[in-house]
Amino acid sequence: METVMSEAAVGYAKANGGRFVEELKALLRIPSVSTAPEHVADVRKAAEFTAEGLRAAGMENVRVIETSTEKRKGHPLVYADWLHAGANKPTVLCYGHYDVQPAEPLDEWKSPPFEPEERNGNIYARGAVDDKGQMWMHVKALESLLKAEGKLPCNIKVIVEGEEEVGGEGIAAFVREHGDVLKADAALVSDTEMFAPELPTLCVGLRGMIYTELEAKGAATDLHSGMYGGAAPNPFVALAQIIAQIKRSDGHIAIPGFYDGIEEPTKEELKAWRSLPFDEEHYRKTEVGSTELTGEMMFSVLERTWSRPTMDVHGMPGGFIGMGAKTVIPAKATAKISFRLVPGMKPDDIFAKYKKFVESIAPRGVQVSVRMIHSGEPIVVSTDNEYIRAAKKAMAEVFGKETVFVRGGGSIPIVGDFVRELGVPTVMMGFGLPDDNLHAPNEKFHLANFHRGIESIVRFFGLVGEGAT
């Protein structure tokens, strides 16, 4: 069933689609890299831009909320609401983030990461799909409804954060301390992807993570490898020996107790995954591009990336990394190591086991220390509620196809907090594509999905307002 209200708003969105894209480009030009101290002002600029967009859309009580405390320097939240749909209508909390990943390596971008460019129906820029483009869909869906109809079909709160890419500590604290402000009947998150082009998809589970730095210290100062090689500890060799003991060549993580208590997916879920249009060889060739896939080969790729934990090394700072040769034994070296966690695993527990293990295997002469950079809990959301049903229907209407349920391998830390702290069903309705190069050079967003996303969200709000699910 489609409502008249939705149709008018959809018409408005179609008529104004070109302008929506131009506005998104302006947002994409702000290099709001939340992990980079030199971009603090840009991150704030992106927050202000988002607040202004919500105001222009007709949202009320728009506020930029500081998350800095004495202990930490945080990036601000943006809040807005519109609560005149009536007490008998549900309240939906919309979540997105305006911060982005670093753009390095810059020389692999075909167009500069902060100069958005349209090519082949896509918009290329850092943050195009993760998550500025998807967050902007929320803003534009709200604008379309408010401008076309003068009101919204349900009550809406919006919270947009600037620390999603660095662990979301600020919003987590805000949820804990001011949960009442964000009180809602359901949450809508658009920060995930569709399983395949044209296939409407709802994400109902995410892996958690811990992101750490493992430092190995050997000599008191950098030493000449000719004079000291053979007697002085080499921290890179030590890190290599530790990493090789953490992750075996068959993908198994050898930290004692690492897999304890893992909750397996249900038989129904596994069966549904097997019916998804997924070919491991096609995935290897077109998405990964390696000669072979890796990991725990007794599990399918979807299981390995959705419902199995894993470990990755992201970079190993230290020593000499310039061109040519320097014969140095560095005094210290670091490995940036993260673990993806699945339901049944607790970040603090895994961190403690990991720390204990690396300390127990630290090679002779090397002192290791482990530091947690950030963490997020794994979650699985129930599919048995009216909001998931409304989302499923809205997407099916727009795409003309049955909506599928999948999980995501990544982490959106705040979703766990919504589920745990606010106790609300969370709808993860995302419009990215598997080849959108999230966190990589040449990130893009397919513009047709940007527009279909706005329409899906308009229809979702309409269905929620009607209770017609």
Report whether 187 contacts 425 (CB < 8 A).
Answer: yes
Q: Which stretch binds its own copies (CB under 8 A): 16-24, 145-153, 288-296, 352-360?
A: 288-296
Amino acid at 26: A
Q: Which is nearer to its own copies, 327 or 382 (CB)?
A: 327
The 407-446 site mask, x for binding its own copies (CB under 8 A), equals: -xxxx----------------------x--xxxxxx----
Whole-angstrom CA distances from 328 to 26, 333, 364 are 46, 12, 19
Taking CB under 8 A as the criterion, the residue among 12, 95, 109, 211 binding its own copies is 211
Whole-angstrom CA distances from 12 to 16, 17, 415 are 6, 8, 31
Site for its own copies in 43-72 (CB under 8 A): none
Helix (H) or strand (E) holding 57: helix 40-57
Q: Which is nearer to its own copies, 372 or 468 (CB)?
A: 372
Q: Does 449 bind its own copies (CB under 8 A)?
A: no
Q: Which residues contact 96 (CB under 8 A, 6 or more apart)?
A: 131, 134, 135, 138, 160, 161, 189, 190, 191
Q: Does 400 bind its own copies (CB under 8 A)?
A: no
> Which tokens belong to 356?
């204990």
Q: Which is nearer to its own copies, 15 or 227 (CB)?
A: 227
The 167-196 site mask, x for binding its own copies (CB under 8 A), equals: x-------------------------x---
Taking CB under 8 A as the criterion, the residue among 6, 32, 310, 426 binding its own copies is 310
Beta-carbon neighbour count of residue 176 at 10 Å?
11
Beta-carbon neighbour count of residue 84 at 10 Å?
11
Total binding residues toward its own copies, as defined by CB under 8 A? 104
Q: Which stretch binds its own copies (CB under 8 A): 4-12, 51-59, 175-183, 313-321?
A: 313-321
> What is the distance, to the nearest Å, from the Cα of residue 147 to the centroid of all Cα atoms in its chain?
30
Report whether 114 contacts 100 (CB < 8 A).
Answer: no
Q: Which is nearer to its own copies, 67 or 101 (CB)?
A: 101
Taking CB under 8 A as the criterion, the residue among 90, 116, 363, 462 binding its own copies is 363
Q: Which is nearer to its own copies, 150 or 230 (CB)?
A: 230
Strand partners, 350: none
| DSSP 8-state secondary structure symbol assigned to residue 446 | E
Site for its own copies in 217-276 (CB under 8 A): 218-234, 236-237, 239-245, 247, 249, 251
Q: Which is nearer to its own copies, 326 or 401 (CB)?
A: 326
Three-state secondary structure call for residue 396: helix
Nearest to 169 by CA among 97, 255, 85, 273: 97
Q: Which is nearer to its own copies, 182 or 242 (CB)?
A: 242
CB of 175 to its own copies, least distance (A): 21
Q: Which is nearer to its own copies, 133 or 410 (CB)?
A: 410
CB of 378 to its own copies, least distance (A): 11
Q: Does 369 bind its own copies (CB under 8 A)?
A: no
**Concatenated DSSP letters for 334-386?**
EEEEEEEE-TT--HHHHHHHHHHHHHHH--TT-EEEEEEEEEE--EE--S-SH
Q: Does 107 bind its own copies (CB under 8 A)?
A: no
Taking CB under 8 A as the criterion, the residue among 108, 115, 177, 402 binding its own copies is 108
Taking CB under 8 A as the criterion, the residue among 26, 55, 176, 320 binding its own copies is 320
Taking CB under 8 A as the criterion, the residue among 22, 115, 264, 312 binding its own copies is 312
Strand partners, 376: 209
CB of 110 to its own copies, least distance (A): 12
Q: Which is nearer to its own copies, 211 or 450 (CB)?
A: 211
Rg (CA), the chain: 23
Q: Which is nearer to its own copies, 48 or 222 (CB)?
A: 222
Q: What value, to the nearest 5°, has the Cα angle with vertex 125 and ends 122 and 130?
A: 90
Three-state secondary structure call for residue 287: helix
Q: Which stretch binds its own copies (CB under 8 A): 14-22, 29-37, 133-141, 391-399?
A: 29-37
Residue 20, phi-psi category: left (phi > 0), alpha (psi -120 to 50), beta (remainder)? alpha
